[in-house]
Amino acid sequence: MPTSVTHDILIIGGGGAGLRAAIAAAEHSAKLSIGIVSKVYPMRSHTVSAEGGAAGVMRDNDSLDQHAKDTIFGADFLADQDAVEILVNEAPGELIQIEHWGCPWSRDPDGRISVRSFGGMSVDRTVYAADKTGFHMLHTLFQTSLKYESIHRYDECFVTSILADDGKARGVTFINMYSGQVQLITAKAVIICTGGCGRIFPFTTNASIKSGDGMALAYRSGVPLKDMEFVQYHPTGMPGTGILITEASRGEGGWLVNKDGYRYLQDYGLGPPTDTPVHRKMELGPRDILSRCHMQEFQKGRTFEGPYGHYVHLDLRHIGEAVIDSKLPFVRELSRNYLGIDPVYEPIPVRPVVHYMMGGIHTDADGKTPMDGLFAAGETACVSVNGANRLGSNSLTELLVFGARAGRAAAQYAEQEPAGPSQPLDALAGDEQRRLEQQYFRKEGGKVRISEIRDAMQHAMEEGVGVYRNEEDLLKTCQTLRDLRHRFSDIRIEDKTDIFNTERTTVLELDYMLDLAEAIANSALQRKESRGSHTRTDYPDRDDENFLKHTMVLRTPEGPKIEYAPVTITRWQPEERKY
Amino acid sequence: MAEATLKIFRGTAERSEYQTFSVPTYQGMVVLDAVHDIQAGQAPDLAVRWNCKAGKCGSCGAEVNGNPRLLCMTRMDQYPAGQPIVVEPMRRFPLIRDLVCDVSWNYEVNKRIKPLAPKPREADGTYRMQQYDIDRVQEFHKCIECFLCQDVCHVMRDHGKYDFAGPRFMVRLAALAMHPLDTVDRLRDLRDAQGIGYCNITKCCTEVCPESISITDNAIIPLKERVAGEFYDPLAWIWRALRGKKADTRNPVH
């Protein structure tokens, strides 16, 4: 029988959203006991990799309506406008709050918080801490979380299932990496904050932990995933490693040039080119459009060819060493370490790379999912504020605003929810332990290597669900993924030990990713239009009549089932998205 | 294709051995790539922590040829060809398995540090700070908590003095002490609970820091000066007795 612990609120994931939710719940009431289960130590979470900044209205030349409009426009009108208004209204307060907790925002000479320009934003509104914004935020949130006696952490514990009783989320089972034991935490409310799933793709800025565990856990619990076909390609990743070169490098004035040294974005309606950056123009266009321009340059034969495929140049030389060192020190550091290039003297090779999931677990603006007691926030959730394309620097804001809201909503829910009986959960946890032992821990035989299925899945995703998509390739990818799901049952697991068995977690992650890959590919297959990051060569136009709606994908034994839900339009009527 | 030999520590505290593997090398390869190559083909059961592969998450700290390093930031071509590259777990911490050790002690130490308590906001609800002050704090906040400095520090590694909080937490304490908003006095804790007196400024921590934080010069020495000023400077005692003031605990000496 798995050992059991009880908390009022249990949070899966200890990154930015999870910690913000934990702090919000702890501040709501000191009586609530809060658990955070994370498969890594807190500072390893992928929030550390966010570089550019967090958007919020901070200046007199800006307005909440303008931030909302930019976000909705950037989202190609697929964002829920009531949720976007909540995001922009609560953003400034959250940004000041985290400064109050010690986050060292970069300053202007008069001592105020500095703001920088970002893609698709019509004024400077991105607050930053050099080019390690996510890092400083996570650091601050983690140290702040230590103040609360009521927050308990379970580091390096891998969640395998959400337990439900009477239709309500009531706890989780997890593998303790140190002992290999399956354990149970019961709770009145569960919040999923596990981030994205970029690892489904071969070439991504995402760290190895980004396997979408929480999305898959919700999906398996019968909760729909929303708008999963919208995958953001960031236009400036390093070839080979996929390491991100922040959009802030373009906000500070960097240029994208093709192999002829030509600022090619002017050929795609983003011009005219200017020496200093202009909001929403050229290099400050939104990410989906910039990634498509790159692919078209490649098709025209105007990109460079390297050992890791096609690339263009991000030129920062004209910005000068002083600005690079003060505003973009990390870009210089990464370029030197991983490319052997100093951006002060040489352009940086870059190409589009999978970066962010606009889609995720279906929630309302309080992080509530359709399942009672189950909440989600951060990249793993889809509220939706990002719609068909997220604007850079809205995601750090999103994890603060909606992390806090989910934490408070879960706290209120837990306060009025009676503690249910523990016997059904003990029984469910026992079942889960037996399932894990039979399928994985004690599995004998098996012929297929983990890496074989993972590579095939990643390849299929790149082929079918890349920057450009069409019916034929999508059908092929959906079929390949179905076949891989069947082959997965013949997986070979060689490590039979219990202590820190990473092969075990790798195979469980692959299991999750296969579910999500199918959800993404099938959602993309059914959306017969082009909107935001989802570009169908066979349906090149946006089709508001038939597809101004959210995709909802549900898991069935036969594969993903697609349904749709309406988009909330309040004050901004859909119009052509032109920059 | 060129090959490299790696001698990797395998096993647990009860039973361990060094296993030797050969891997093909390529330009730009780091030690973590070699470990992944071994995991993919020769030893799927090799336990190692890793995540971002970009020197940001701090997961893959280990010892390469006896030096504490991040595996993802350690280029293979810096080691002489033909000699095996020895990869071991950080020695200072209890071993879990293979290259993975138990660093949870650090989190316990961290819990005992008094958190930031900011001064009141300006009338308009914001704080005004200068970039000069922010730069200093940002340097300390660069710490990725890889704990290589905790691994190398001889106070703990060789002398087993675990009442010293270690360089990582001197950096954290310095970040708090020099934060423009902070109001808390932690000098007594620094002397007693965090044992700053144990550090004899050998700068080993600064040498291994993958984030190039000047741990000794910018964090530990200023903190030592403040502790000395507060508790050990007889002139300062008299001065404070006459003026009726406490030592200045917030602003560093420029």
pLDDT per residue rounded down to tens, chain B (254 residues): 689 999 999 999 999 999 999 999 988 889 999 999 998 889 989 999 999 888 889 999 999 999 999 999 999 999 998 899 999 999 999 999 999 999 999 999 999 999 999 998 888 877 889 998 888 888 998 899 999 999 999 999 999 888 999 999 999 999 999 999 999 999 999 999 999 999 999 999 999 999 999 999 999 999 999 999 888 888 877 887 888 755 444 444 33
Q: Which of B51, B68, B101 is the last residue of a domain?
A: B101
Q: Do the domain assignments include residue A576?
A: no
Which of A207, A209, A499 has its CB closest to that of B97?
A499
DSSP state of A539: B
Do B209 and B117 lie in one domain? The reply is: yes
CB contact under 8 A, A143 and B58: no
Q: Do the domain assignments include residue A439?
A: yes
CB contact under 8 A, B129 and A111: yes
CB contact under 8 A, B115 and A243: no
CB contact under 8 A, B28 and A501: no
Domain that residue B94 falls in? 3-101
Q: Do the domain assignments include residue B26?
A: yes
Do A329 and A228 lie in one domain? The reply is: no
Nearest CA in chain A to B112: A146
Q: Do the domain assignments include residue A162?
A: yes
Q: Which of A424, A442, A477 is the last residue of a domain?
A: A424
The answer to whether residue A101 neighbours chain B at the CB level (below 8 Å) is: yes
Q: What is the mean pLDDT of chain A?
A: 95
Q: Do the domain assignments include residue A161?
A: yes
| CATH number, residue B131 | 1.10.1060.10
Do A21 and A161 lie in one domain? The reply is: yes
Q: Number of structural domains, chain B? A: 2
Do B222 and B163 lie in one domain? The reply is: yes
Do A279 and A146 lie in one domain? The reply is: no
The answer on pLDDT for A58 being more than 50 is yes
Which of B49, B57, B104 has its CB closest to that of A48?
B57
Domain that residue A369 falls in? 3-48+133-232+356-424
| CATH number, residue B21 | 3.10.20.30
Please check whether residue A205 is in contact with residue A49, taking contact to mean a CB–CB distance below 8 angstroms: yes
Stated as kind and residue range, the H or E segment containing B223 is helix B221-231
Do B79 and B175 lie in one domain? The reply is: no
- pLDDT tens across A186-241, in order? 999 999 999 999 999 999 999 999 999 999 999 999 999 999 999 999 999 999 88
Q: Do the domain assignments include residue A71?
A: no
Nearest CA in chain A to B121: A100
Do B110 and B234 lie in one domain? The reply is: yes
Q: Number of structural domains, chain A? A: 3
Per-residue H/E/C for A344-393: CCCCEEEEEEEEEECCEEECCCCCECCCECEEECCCCEECCCCCCCCCCC
Q: How many CB atoms lie within 10 A of CB A222?
A: 15
Tokens of A269: 């309606």
Do B210 and B109 lie in one domain? The reply is: yes
Which of A44, A107, A135 has its CB closest to that of B129?
A107
Do A268 and A186 lie in one domain? The reply is: no
Q: Do the domain assignments include residue A68?
A: no
Do A39 and A147 lie in one domain? The reply is: yes
Stated as kind and residue range, the H or E segment containing A152 is strand A151-155
What are φ and ψ of residue A498, in 5° steps? -100, -25
Distance between CA A527 and CA A536 in Å, rounded? 9
CB contact under 8 A, A96 and B51: no
Q: Do the domain assignments include residue B254?
A: no
Do A228 and A360 lie in one domain? The reply is: yes
The answer to whether ipTM exceeds 0.90 is no
Do B219 and B151 lie in one domain? The reply is: yes
Do B92 and B212 lie in one domain? The reply is: no
Q: State yes or no: cis peptide before A343, omega within 30 of 0.
A: no
Q: Do the domain assignments include residue B253?
A: no
Tokens of A7: 């908390």
Tokens of A79: 């964002």
Q: Which residues of A296-329 are buried (b: 16+ CB within 10 A; e: fewer)?
A: ebbeeebbeeeeeebbbbbbbbebeeeebeebbe
The answer to whether residue A278 neighbours chain B at the CB level (below 8 Å) is: no
Distance between CA B195 and CA B212 in Å, rounded? 24
The answer to whether residue A216 neighbours chain B at the CB level (below 8 Å) is: no
| CATH number, residue A484 | 1.20.58.100
Residues of A marked active site are found at 234, 250
CB contact under 8 A, A130 and B138: yes
3-state secondary structure of B64: strand
- pLDDT tens across A307-352, in order? 889 999 999 999 999 999 988 988 998 899 888 899 999 999 999 9
Do A492 and A511 lie in one domain? The reply is: yes
Q: Do the domain assignments include residue B32?
A: yes
Do A22 and A140 lie in one domain? The reply is: yes
Do B148 and B163 lie in one domain? The reply is: yes
Q: Do the domain assignments include residue A170?
A: yes
Please check whether residue A304 is in contact with residue A239, taking contact to mean a CB–CB distance below 8 angstroms: no
Do B28 and B71 lie in one domain? The reply is: yes
Tokens of B164: 């010293």
Q: How many CB atoms lie within 10 A of CB B28?
A: 15
Which of B97, B138, B143 has its CB closest to that of A500?
B97
Could you tell me which of A394, A319, A420, A402 has the C-alpha nearest to residue A366? A402
Do A212 and A280 lie in one domain? The reply is: no
